Structure 1
Amino acid sequence: MNWKNVDSNALAENLHPKHDKYFLKDLVVKADSGLLSVHRGRIEPGGEIFVHTHEVESETFYILSGRLECTMGDEKIAYAAGNCGFAPPGIPHGLRNTGDVPAELIAIFTPPLK
Structure 2
Amino acid sequence: MQGKNVDSGTVAESLHPKHNRYYLKDLVVKADSGLLSVHRGRIEAGGEIFVHTHEIESETFYILSGQVECTMGEEKVAYTAGSCGFAPPGVLHGLRNTGDVPVELIAIFTPPLK
For Structure 1 versus Structure 2, the TM-score category normalised by the shorter chain is over 0.9
Residue 80 of structure 1, CA deviation: 0.3
Q: Is 1:9 the equivalent of 2:9?
A: yes
Q: What are the Cα deviations for residues 34-57 of structure 1, in whole angstroms up to 9, with x where unaligned?
A: 000000000000100000000000
Q: What are the Cα deviations for residues 40-78 of structure 1, in whole angstroms up to 9, with x where unaligned?
A: 000000100000000000000000000000000000000
What's the secondary structure of 1:3's corresponding residue? coil
TM norm structure 1? 0.99
- Indicate the RMSD between aligned Cα atoms, in angstroms: 0.5
> 1:15, 1:27 → 2: CA distance?
15
For 1:64, the equivalent position in structure 2 comes to 64
Counterpart code for 1:17: P
Q: Which runs of 4+ in 1 moved over 2 A?
A: none
For 1:54, the equivalent position in structure 2 comes to 54
Counterpart code for 2:28: V
> 1:19, 1:100 → 2: CA distance?
18
Counterpart code for 1:85: G
Q: What are the Cα deviations for residues 69-94 of structure 1, in whole angstroms up to 9, with x where unaligned?
A: 00000000000000000000000000
What's the secondary structure of 1:90's corresponding residue? coil
What's the secondary structure of 1:32's corresponding residue? helix
> 1:96, 1:4 → 2: CA distance?
31
Which ranges of structure 2 fall in alignment gaps of 5 or more residues?
A: none
For 1:89, the equivalent position in structure 2 comes to 89
For 2:37, the equivalent position in structure 1 comes to 37
